Structure 1
Amino acid sequence: MTLEKELTDLPAAGGAAGIELRGIRHRYGTTPSTGALALDVEHLPVPDGSLSVIVGPSGCGKSTMLAIVAGLLTPTEGRVHVGGVDVTDAAPGARGLSMVFQDYALYPHLTVAANIGFGMRLEARHSRGAGPGRAEIDRRVGEVAGQLGLSEFLGRKPAQLSGGQRQRVALARAIVRRRQVLLLDEPLSSLDAQLRAQARAELARLHRELGATVVMVTHDQSEALSIATHLIVMRGGRVVQAAAPDEVYRRPADEFVATFVGSPAMNVLEHEGARWGWRPADGVVLGSGSGTSSGGLGLDGTVDIVEFAGHERLVHCRGPRGARWSFTEPIATPRGVGDHVHVLVQARDLHRFDLETGLRVDA
């Protein structure tokens, strides 16, 4: 089967399509065989119709993976499949996807309306009448502008917009083409805290209405947990865990995922020859005493820092032998620096990790 024939078999624009990475490796350097390995993904399926969020620390390979899916980078090894079709050798424009870049990539001389409709007008020009007509383009531009709160800005140029408004224009330009896959590279990074929260909710709603497969890159794990239907956690160019957000939160695959995903971060410390983790919200303050109690873990500590978090207080403690851990409690509870506390974590709330590998131990 020729590549041209394979591309005609892609799901129609507007439908969803799963993505699959098989044996993907990418090296940066003058020679592919000896360059630095930036990405090493043996097998990664991205569910059809999901809002999959790739999260991880800076330099972990998130944007490299997205660029390979988009066709902006050719992997050193491996194949990329979209909708069951191998698109590894296909040009970016032939993959049936749209992408929103972190730096907007808007045309400064065009109006907001022209920027949003640019891709469709280009498609109509080169498809010899098979693409959308002018009336259809105008209708779809107006529709998506209304969805993203841009209707009053359609006649403005990008320089007349705020950073958040420009980001929404870039998102509208990608959505309006109704591609089967939408790739988002840090799409909310330029927004302030309040707008970012609103944009997260809007993005989740748009995903539900579009029904497309959305793959989003972010460094903000709280953002990832709040909107993802499928969460991909990366570290050092590899996928550490890929599952539903609640599964990643409740059953982290290793110590890195446990401490990276969730805010405030999970406590992890060594106790009686084992490595234990627990969420700050699972610690209950009791009377004095220490050690394991009622099948759980009991800890004595001295309050070091108290953080006011509005609806609750986050209390950081110092324990014996330099151990540090934290717990949350109601804001009305009196607590001050220097107070001595005994905290119990029930056995059902404990996570055990291998001392050597850091991997989860379920026994």
Structure 2
Amino acid sequence: MAKVELEHVWKIYEGKVEAVKDATFTIEDKEFVVLLGPSGCGKTTTLRMIAGLEEITRGTLKIDGKVMNDVEPKDRDIAMVFQNYALYPHMTVYDNMAFGLKLRKFPKNEIEKRVKEAAKILGIEELLDRKPRQLSGGQRQRVAVGRAIVRNPKVFLFDEPLSNLDAKLRVQMRSELKKLHHRLEATIVYVTHDQIEAMTMADKIIVMKDGVIQQVGTPNEIYNKPANTFVAGFIGSPAMNFIDSKIIKDNGLWIKSDGLKLKIPKQFEELLEQYIDKEVIFGIRPENIYDKMFAMAPSEGENTASAQVDVVEPLGSETILHLIAGNDKFVAVVDPKTQAKEEQIIDVVFDMNAMHIFDKETGKAVL
């Protein structure tokens, strides 16, 4: 397998549309890396530049230490799995999987060996004589992956491969692709807008917005230490709460907003000294706000607030509460045993050790 390096890569289309701006990152050998972001953020364009399907405007792409900017796609030793599977409808599953090897003039016995091995790995041995129209979406996806596996390429590229599948099948295919990665010890670059896919599958996530890389890190780093409000809001469901606030000094430091006054833990005071009496964005994830009756965090007056329940969403394993305090609106994910009812006033506890503070002007994380 291989290491993939992008150094100051740009993609500028005619009309001066900057689809990818100054992308620099490294995908290590055998790493599963996810390019994550909303539609139109440049993630698929980046993938297509790695594949050679889009020309790089400027910058350098290296695979296995060799510059690939002007190398034809067929000579890059990569295999790509497309969103729409891209199977030949008139060919059997076997012929679809064997097609690339036949083009490369592989011996017949080697083709048969590789196709059967891939079919066994993917559990599609009994489908080899069928045509794509006779297959379900999940089976077609496996065939598309199998066609990539038989090539034994240095790098696998996946472009939103699960987006056409139903929710249950997506969960199943996520775990299968993860197992496949470990089995093949492959270098994989995977594009998705689905943060759950990214969080569950990736060794490393590259978050993009408007063609610009916002943050590169492990799923844990991206979730717990987001670089800015965009990353913080994009990762997590329900999304992180953002509340316009001010940091004030009053026997310690406090977060003060229209409806909240919460004590900032001592370990954060030094980092936030420069923001005293300044406006900031207070961020906290819904799972770090508790119904006081079932609080998982220590409950004191300094981290507790009263709020009106606007909407209750019971999900069985948890309950989502939409809350209002003054003009502040926020969401809490609480114990399903909560007795909270709409329009009721309840006390909620904020786990302030899990708080985030962002600069009001730049949106960058301060804490």
Report the TM range for the smaller structure's normalisation.
Answer: 0.7 to 0.9
Question: Which residue identity does 2:357 align to in structure 1?
Answer: R
Secondary structure of the structure 1 residue equivalent to 2:322 = strand
* Residue number in structure 1 paired with 2:265: none
Aligned residues: 330
Residue 296 of structure 1 and its aligned partner are, at CA, apart by: 6.3
Is 1:58 equivalent to 2:43 in the alignment? Answer: no
Is 1:243 the counterpart of 2:197? The answer is no
CA distance in 2, matches of 1:40, 1:284: 41
1:230 is aligned to 204
Seen in structure 2, the aligned counterparts of structure 1 residues 297 and 69 have a Cα distance that, compared at 3 Å, is: farther
**What runs of 5+ residues in structure 2 fail to find an aligned partner?**
247-278, 294-298
RMSD between aligned residues: 1.6
**Contact 2:19/2:210 (<8 A) preserved:** yes
Kept in 2, the 8 Å contact 1:25–1:37? The answer is yes
- C-alpha displacement at 1:331, in angstroms? 1.2
Instruction: Please say if residues 94 and 115 of structure 2, whose CA atoms lie closer than 8 Å, have aligned partners that are also in contact.
Output: yes
Structure 1: which amino acid aligns with 2:84? D
Q: SS where residue 332 of structure 1 aligns?
A: coil
How many angstroms apart in 2 are the aligned matches of 1:294 and 1:36? Answer: 53
Q: Identify if the C-alpha distance between structure 1 residues 337 and 313 changes in structure 2 by more than 3 Å, giving closer, same or farther.
A: same
| Residues 1:325 and 2:330 aligned together | yes
**C-alpha displacement of 1:42:** 4.0
Distance 1:27 1:212 in 2: 30
Q: Aligned-pair distance for 1:316?
A: 1.0
Q: Does the CA contact (< 8 Å) of 1:295 and 1:346 recur in 2?
A: no
CA displacement at 1:310 relative to structure 2? 2.4
Q: Percent identity?
A: 43
Letter in 2 for 1:326: V
| Superposed displacement of residue 164, structure 1 | 2.2
Which residue of 2 is the match for residue 274 of structure 1? 280
For 2:156 and 2:10, locate their aligned partners in 1 and report how far apart those are by CA, in whole Å. Answer: 22
Q: CA deviation at 1:176?
A: 1.6
Deviations 1:331-361 (A, max 9, x none): 1222211121222223311011001000000
Correspondence for 2:5 among 20, 42, 54: 20
1: CA distance, partners of 2:309 / 2:123? 47
The one-letter amino acid paired with 1:325 is F
Give the match's secondary structure for 1:140. Answer: helix
Is the contact made by 2:323 and 2:330 (CA closer than 8 Å) also made in structure 1?
yes
Q: d(CA) in 2 for partners of 1:86 and 1:179?
A: 17
Deviation at 1:101, TM superposition (A): 0.9
1:267–1:110 CA distance, 2 compared to 1 (3 A): same
Select which of 207, 210, 213 maps to 2:187: 213
- TM-score after normalising by structure 1: 0.87
Q: Where do 1:121-160 residues align within 5 Å?
A: 121-123=102-104, 125=105, 131=106, 133-160=107-134
Asked if the contact 2:204/2:218 (under 8 Å) is kept, the reply is yes
Q: Distance in 1 between matches of 2:9 and 2:56?
A: 6
Q: Distance in 1 between matches of 2:197 and 2:94?
A: 29
- Aligned pair 1:350/2:331, yes or no? no
